[in-house]
Amino acid sequence: MNTKTYKRELAVVLIVWFAYVVETKDAEIINMLVWPVFTYMALAFGVDWWGKSGGMRKDTSLGRGSECSSQHPDREDQ
């Protein structure tokens, strides 16, 4: 069962809100908000990319696949 967490959508809403704050508020509040907003955005998109790319489940066989050489279907019997 796939459940949607909306972390990327929230990150987009946060950057739009931050752009509004930059245009309407003073520099002190911007300095206070810049790190939490951009850290959340980086984590939201980075964790999503990391999860979709396989994360720690990567095969370490350097592109040779997970089958032993004797189990490959294209290997001829000798």
User: Which pLDDT score is estimated for 8?
Assistant: 87
Name the residue with tokens 């980075």: 46
Non-local (6+) Cβ contacts of 8 within 8 A are 44, 45, 48
pLDDT in tens, 21-48: 999 998 999 999 999 999 999 988 888 8
- Domain ranges for the chain: 1-51
User: Which pLDDT score is estimated for 36?
Assistant: 92
pLDDT in tens, 51-63: 788 877 765 555 5
Average the pLDDT over 14-26 and give the result.
Answer: 93
pTM for this model (two decimals): 0.59
Average the pLDDT over 47-76 and give the result.
Answer: 65
How many C-beta neighbours within 10 Å does residue 44 have? 19
